Amino acid sequence: MLGILPLFAMVAFGQVTPAPQVAAEAQVSAQAKGVRQAEEIRQAEEVRQVEDPYLWLEDVGGSKALDWARAQNKKSLTKLENLADYKPIHDSILKILDSKDRIPYVSMRKEHLYNFWQDAAHVRGILRRTTLDEYKKKNPQWETVLDVDALAAAENENWVYKGSFFLYPTYDRCMVSLSRGGADATVQREFDVITKSFVKDGFVLPEAKSSISWIDRDHLYVGTDFGDGSLTDSGYPRTARLWTRGTALKDAPQIFEGVKTDVSAGVYTSHTPEGSFDFASRTITFYTSELYYLLDGRKIKIDIPEDANFQGIFKKQMLVRLKSDWTVGGKTYPVGGLIAIDFEKFLAGDRGFETLFTPSERVSLSSVTMIKNRILVNTLDNVASVLHAYSFENGHWKHHSTEAPSLGSIYTFGSRDSDTYFVNYTGYLHPSTLYLADAGVARMTKIKELPHYFDATPYLVKRHEARSKDGTMVPYFVVRSKTLKYDSSNPTILYGYGGFQVSLAPRYSGSIGAGWLEHGGVYVVANIRGGGEFGPKWHQAALKKNRHKAYEDFIAVAEDLVAKKITSPRHLGIRGGSNGGLLVGAVFTQRPELFNAVVCSVPLLDMQRYHKLLAGASWMGEYGNPDDPDMWDYIRTYSPYHNVHSDRRYPKVFFHTSTRDDRVHPGHARKMVAKMMGMGHPVYYYENIEGGHGGAANNRQRAHVSALAYAYLLDQLR
């Protein structure tokens, strides 16, 4: 089938018109080949079910599987909760998480600033608001808009708040997203923020992984589970409909659709001060998509590379972020760059883009934030943030200097309605600090700052590099005591992620300080390939059949820590979650002698079935398709579930996951634990019955899981 795709692609674009007989023969051949492949996959699946005695643990809510999980919880918690360090660490972390001195981060909605807040008195949390003048005060007055604890009690539902989507430009209505137990699937309900009540006979979507976008007060673009054929293989919407107030959802006309193998498809309205724009998008893979502009009933394809990121419309300029080199209009624009062009001229055929940002080997684009009259471009220079600002005036782009802090991590947020914006600055030993800025003024004003949740004066941060197997230099940060003895005896956590172009920039964590550093630990973060620290190329270097590069980088950092005598295998532990759980799973099965502790959180582990479980199909752009025999021959070399053996000695791993995680299937962790136990390997296992992909739904659960992990690590490594 793959061999004839290029021919079909050319036909679709009118470049080749095969003779009818040739086309018919090709179609018959393709159908026969497709039938053979389908039969081969079916037979392989039958073999897997015979070979995998733990498939029953994939039954998420099945009584047998849940009884097994609860039994493992009881066994592990009996040990972990009785470790001497557990309770003091738990209490200190819970105090930090519930602290009223935390920065209440906000979203700007016209004259109001909204914040979602959880503490000891509001376990599920409250949505509240204030004004900018009030927010500047040390102790602002807040107005509660929605009390999720009270709502859950009144409706006898295990509600977890997942966000609100406001109506532009009045911001008097929003769609509130509520999850049962923290899952990604949510119930959407229309809410009036003036009356502080749900709208009677308003828009309501049943539980699903839905997508919604306000068009105006009486119309929504909706993607949800409409029944058979309406979802992709990844479990996300495949179709989009236009829903009018007062009509039944089932009667909403379909206006766009993708194909079943897409990650998702949908339609949304982009609201700007200069006007609104409707777009339809097919997310083909995690990294490729097709975008269409909807105008007067027409669907106009936005002719940019499929792997490019459409950043939006600013001052009627279209911004595009490139993931590969793009030659167009007689010019080549580099991978990792940010380019812009007048949108109307682009639609008319102009391809004369202007470059706003060009990357270099160690400088990459981190994020783009649009406010009313500025674009804020956050870059990473050797994993330290540098902020740039741009305006578009009189037909030209203009660069503006900012006084944002450096040598740490920043992120920006604001509103398309205002030139006021916020800059948050943080570092490993620098508590997060929030600055208020204005587009027309270079100077920023500090308005909020976290307290020091631990005494940072005894510690320092050092940046090192390790040489990976292929010679690539991999940076990593070490947070340690100033009086550290290089005697190989220091308990050390090595943390990593290495996937999906996620950058691990320095950030402050009171939990790490109180739970680890103050107990004599060393904390290390590895900026391995697969991440986004140095742009798309750094990410792409560990994609699919290069996945082993990420694992080699992580191992190289571990070996460098040992070589520097910061620690030793006896005192070295590793930690990662989600894709990072796959990372530590692959690494401990490859090099078990290098570590004495592993915290493997909400992980992917069975890489032969990951694409068949929940949202797994959406990640084939990252890992590849294991149903392809050639791809599976590679994936099986690192799939943790297929590389654990009875005759090897492993560290006593701590696995934890969540029953309500509907993104990464809890069956990964369950099956790995069952398999290791069946081979006689001791492990710890904890499954939070709620919590979603984050592993916890509220501060108490977060403190519990964190304390279990740190107590375990201290017991193993100290």
Hey, which residues are catalytic here? Answer: 578, 693
Helix (H, G, I), strand (E, B) or coil at 571: helix
Return d(Cα 495, Cα 545) in angstroms, integer.
23
Of the CA atoms within 13 Å of residue 371, those in its CB half-sphere come to: 25
Return d(Cα 205, Cα 241) in angstroms, integer.
13
Q: How far is CA 102 from the centre of its chain?
A: 23
Nearest to 376 by CA among 348, 345, 411: 411
CB 456 within 8 A of CB 429: yes
The amino acid that residue 351 corresponds to is R
Count the Cβ atoms, other than its own, within 10 Å of residue 369: 18
Residue 142 phi, psi dihedral angles, 5° rounding = -110, 145
Q: Which of 485-501 are b and which e, b meaning 16 or more Cβ less than 10 Å from the residue's Cβ?
A: eeebbbbbbbbbbbbbb
Give me the residues paired with residue 288 across strands: 285
CB within 8 Å of 462: residues ≥ 6 apart: 477, 478, 480
Determine the number of helices (DSSP H) and then strands (DSSP E) in the chain: 15, 39
Nearest to 656 by CA among 583, 701, 705, 700: 705
Return d(Cα 547, Cα 539) in angstroms, integer.
10
Give me the residues paired with residue 212 across strands: 222
Cα–Cα–Cα angle for 521, 525, 529, rounded to 5 degrees: 155
Count the Cβ atoms, other than its own, within 10 Å of residue 397: 15
Return d(Cα 192, Cα 210) in angstroms, integer.
20
CB 500 within 8 A of CB 286: yes
CB 182 within 8 A of CB 697: yes
Return d(Cα 571, Cα 234) in angstroms, integer.
40
Residue 287 phi, psi dihedral angles, 5° rounding = -120, 5
Give me the residues paired with residue 356 across strands: none
Return d(Cα 327, Cα 314) in angstroms, integer.
23
Cα–Cα–Cα angle for 476, 477, 478, rounded to 5 degrees: 125
Count the Cβ atoms, other than its own, within 10 Å of residue 3: 10
Give me the residues paired with residue 290 across strands: 282
Count the Cβ atoms, other than its own, within 10 Å of residue 156: 7
- Whether cis (ω within 30° of 0) applies to the bond prior to 88 is no
Q: What is the CA radius of gyration of the chain?
A: 26
**First vs last Cα of the chain: how many Å apart?**
56
Return d(Cα 165, Cα 469) in angstroms, integer.
47
Return d(Cα 124, Cα 128) in angstroms, integer.
13
Nearest to 494 by CA among 410, 425, 409, 594: 594
Q: 637: buried, middle or exposed (CB in 10 Å: 19+, 13-18, 0-12)?
A: middle
The amino acid that residue 440 corresponds to is G
- 563's tokens: 């070589």
Return d(Cα 556, Cα 408) in angstroms, integer.
25
Give me the residues paired with residue 686 across strands: 656
